[in-house]
Amino acid sequence: MAKGLVVSPDKCTGCRTCELACSYSKSDTFNPKDSAISVMFYEDVGLQVPMTCLQCDEPHCVKVCVVNALTKDEKTGVVNYDKEKCIGCKMCVSACPFGNMTYSIRLKEVIKCDLCKGDPQCVKSCNYGALQYKELDSTLDKRKIIANQFKEAFGEGAI
């Protein structure tokens, strides 16, 4: 079974170290704008939610990419990005149902989570266990929870 990122908002302190670790590994800078993971804050309920690519089973970004710069690796489950192929049309940015694609104008490339080729830097940097990289157990699969919630919000055809 594929490994994936499991997010536990209840453990996230909102320190945003993951954003810095990610941007550093993706773009050699410490800039949350160039990070593939972003922490959303909900002060009303005291929760922070780190959000990143869900590595969808039927990725919309892959469907709209005309040069195959985005591909789904059926073995690892990861949606990979090849910046050498990317022509910068930014269709993937608008097509992602979850807003998880960012186009960096400075770098002329898409910033997207590829689970760091199996060594996710955000997970390493999180001191509170809010991010874990592990085999996805279908009953505990948080991505499925999100997916279901999303279907409720946007209708069946959304994913």
Partner 1 sequence: MKVIINSKEYQGLPGETLMELAKRNNVDIPNLCHKDGIEGQGRCRLCMVEVREGKKTKIVSSCVYPIRDGLEVVTNSEKIIAIRKNIILLLLLKTPNNDYIKSLAEEYGVKAPDRYVDYKVKENCILCGLCVKACEKMGTSAISLINRGTTKKVSTPYDDPSKDCIGCGACAEVCPTNAITMTDKNRIRTIWNKEFKLVKCSVCGKTFTTDEALQFIESKLGKKEERICDSCRKKIISEKFKESFKYF
Tokens for 24, please give them. 């550093």
Can you list the alpha helix ranges (DSSP code H) found in 39-101?
A: 60-64, 91-95
Reported residue count of the chain is: 159
Decide if residue 130 touches ligand SF4 (CB under 6 A): no
Q: Residue 137: which of ligand SF4, partner 1, none does it interact with, CB under 5 to 8 A by kind?
A: none
Decide if residue 88 touches partner 1 (CB under 8 A): yes
Decide if residue 86 touches partner 1 (CB under 8 A): yes
Q: Residue 9: which of partner 1, ligand SF4, none does it interact with, CB under 5 to 8 A by kind?
A: partner 1
Q: Are 135 and 115 spatial neighbours (Cβ–Cβ below 8 Å)?
A: no
Instruction: Identify the residue among 20, 37, 56, 101 touching partner 1 (CB under 8 A).
Output: 101
Instruction: Identify the residue among 91, 104, 114, 132 touching partner 1 (CB under 8 A).
Output: 91
Tokens for 111, please give them. 């910033």
Give CA–CA dist 8/109, Å, rounded. 29
Sign of CA dihedral 107, 109, 113, 119: negative
Spell out, one character per residue from 57 to 96, where the chain touches ligand SF4: x when CB under 6 A holds, - when not.
-------xx-x-xx---------------xxxxxxx----
- Smallest distance from ligand SF4 to CB 115, Å: 17
Instruction: Identify the residue among 25, 49, 80, 114 touching partner 1 (CB under 8 A).
Output: 49
